[in-house]
Each structure stands twice: as C-alpha cells, then as structure tokens.
C-alpha cells in the first residue's frame, strides 16, 4: 500500500517511523511519503491560509497550495506505478472512522491524506478531487482537534495492522473488539499473564482450568459485562440472535 500525507507539520508524522507502522515501512509493506504543503507556495511568507468569505473567526486553507500539492502527488504516484488513489480528508465534520471503514481502506492500494489546520480547507479543493477520485471525509471522534495530523496517525495505524503480513499472527485481529464473528461487536474483556499472584492479586481460577469451553464462556461473560458498562449503545445495536440464554442471565 502507498500512503501520501500532505501537511504543514511534516515532523508531526514522525511516529510513522516507529513500532508497527515503522516496521511495515521497513519491510516494504507500506510505502509512505510525507510532503510539506508549504513547498507548493510561491510567496515569501509561504502562505497557506486566508480569511473566510462571509466573515467569522479563524482562517481557511487556500485552494492553490492544496491543488498544486495534490496534482503533484497524484502525478508522482502514477509515474511510479501507483493506481486507484483515494483521498482521505480528516475533519470533525466527516463520517465516523470505524473498524469497518478501516477494513475497507486497508483494501485500497493508495491513500492520500490531507490533514488541515485552522478552520479547514476551501471546499472547492475537496469538490474538485471528489469529481476525479474517491474521497473519504473522516472524523475520529466527537471532539475537536487542532488539526488532522493526529487523526492521520490514528487511521494509518488502524489500517496498517490489517495489511497482509503486518501482524505476526493472522488470528490476531479475529477477536478484536468490533470484529465480526463469535464476539460479535462486543468489547474485549480483561487479560492476564505471569506471575499467577502479584501484590496478593490472583487471576480468575477458570483461566488455569484448562477447560476451553468454560474459558470461552468466561471470556464472553466478561466481554458482555464490560460492553454493558462502557458502551451500552453497542449492546442496543447487536442482533438479538447474537445472544444466547446464558447471556440473558447476566
Ligand atoms: Cl479528523 N480532525 C480534527 N481537526 N478534529 C477532529 C477530527 C479530525 N476527528 C475528530 N476531531
């Protein structure tokens, strides 16, 4: 997969060199290009923003630097064989970024991120590229960040770990919270490792029983308990057929 990020803070994307995403890059599973938007400005002050039409607070990112940057990134990618680009526009007004969207994006070969600062990018930029390529406007949650760069890190990590061969073991995302399947939409319960006693705290006896059926039942009960406490909305949205008689006794 190829990723391009156009930003006025290229250093904000340095975490892309670390950990899972960094290793995926080093192994050639991810081809990442971070670009400084200001290299597509032509004035002495490298201006990327201006006052909003219609008035109001804050500044709006200008059309020309973004248009020139995106044309150049697209041309460069195509030249090197990249195909089927999609634009990812991080914005608090976007559609919610979910595991389902992460899975969908992980199946695309080329993602171009446009994290904005200030009050966002002139709308004509998004409209222009939406007429040419798929555009996904995404929000990572119901709060406001100072810019989209942190959202790029979030989306990139969620997507990269789904790429073939990036996680050590293919089963690693089978039980992810939000993954389809046996734990259908429930949050994961608690986990434990050695030592068996720490500061007088033991671990749930069932985990030492070696009884796989009882362990699976316990994990499901814990997942239900945690989901009910932290995300009752997820329980509401579950297919009632996903629950068995023992669930209903909880
Ligand atoms: Cl993607 N950008 C900004 N600036 N704020 C956000 C966001 C994105 N998602 C949630 N809040």
Domains of the chain: 2-160 (3.40.1280.10), 176-248 (1.10.1270.20)
Q: Name the pLDDT band for 174 (thresholds 50, 70, 90).
A: low
Q: Is the CB of 150 inside a 6 Å radius of any atom of ligand 1?
A: no
Q: Is the CB of 120 inside a 6 Å radius of any atom of ligand 1?
A: no
Tens of pLDDT, residue by residue over 208-244, are 999 999 999 999 999 999 999 999 999 998 888 888 8
Structure tokens at 63: 């059309």
Q: How far is the CA of 140 from the centre of ligand 1 (A)?
A: 6
The sign of the CA dihedral 65, 13, 115, 109 is positive
Q: How far is the CA of 126 from the centre of ligand 1 (A)?
A: 16
Strand ordering across the sheet containing 85-96:
31-36, 2-7, 110-113, 85-96, 135-139
- Mean pLDDT across 50-64: 97
Q: How far is it, in rounded angstroms, from Cα 243 to Cα 240?
A: 6
Task: Extract the annotated binding site for S-adenosyl-L-methionine.
Answer: 140-145
Q: What is the mean pLDDT of the chain?
A: 94
Tens of pLDDT, residue by residue over 82-121, are 999 999 999 999 999 999 999 999 999 999 999 998 899 9
Tens of pLDDT, residue by residue over 140-163, are 999 999 999 999 999 999 999 999
What is the set of active-site residues? 92, 119, 161, 176
Q: How far is the CA of 89 from the centre of ligand 1 (A)?
A: 10
ipTM above 0.95, yes or no: yes
Mutation choice for ligand 1 from 105, 145, 153, CB with most ligand atoms inside 8 A: 145
Cβ-defined contacts of 128-136 (< 8 Å, 24+): 128/67, 129/70, 129/87, 130/87, 133/74, 133/85, 133/86, 133/87, 134/86, 134/87, 135/86, 135/87, 135/89, 136/86, 136/87, 136/88, 136/89, 136/94, 136/95, 136/101, 136/105
pLDDT at position 246, please? Answer: 82
- Mean pLDDT across 176-189: 76
- Mean pLDDT across 11-36: 96
Q: Name the pLDDT band for 176 (thresholds 50, 70, 90).
A: confident
């Amino acid at each position: 997969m190829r990723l391009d990020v156009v930003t006025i803070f290229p250093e904000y994307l340095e975490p892309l060199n670390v950990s899972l995403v960094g290793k995926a890059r080093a192994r050639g599973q991810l081809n990442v290009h971070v670009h400084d938007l200001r290299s597509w400005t032509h004035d002495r002050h490298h201006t990327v923003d201006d006052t909003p039409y219609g008035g109001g607070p804050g500044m709006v990112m200008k059309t020309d630097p973004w248009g020139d940057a995106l044309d150049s990134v697209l041309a460069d990618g195509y030249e090197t064989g990249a195909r089927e680009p999609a634009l990812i526009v991080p914005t608090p007004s976007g559609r919610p970024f979910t595991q389902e969207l992460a899975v969908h994006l992980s199946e695309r070969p080329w993602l171009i991120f446009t994290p904005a600062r200030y009050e966002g990018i002139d709308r004509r930029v998004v409209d222009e590229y939406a007429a040419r390529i798929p555009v996904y406007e995404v929000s990572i949650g119901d709060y406001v960040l100072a810019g989209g760069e942190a959202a790029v890190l979030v989306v990139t990590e969620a997507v990269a770990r789904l790429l073939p061969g990036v996680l050590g073991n293919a089963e690693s995302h089978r039980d992810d919270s939000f993954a389809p399947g046996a734990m259908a939409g429930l949050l994961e319960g608690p986990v434990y490792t050695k030592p068996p006693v720490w500061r007088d705290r033991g671990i749930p006896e069932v985990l030492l029983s070696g009884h796989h059926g009882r362990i699976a039942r316990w994990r499901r009960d814990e997942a239900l308990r945690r989901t009910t406490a932290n995300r009752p909305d997820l329980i509401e949205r579950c297919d009632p057929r996903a629950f068995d008689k023992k669930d209903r006794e909880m």
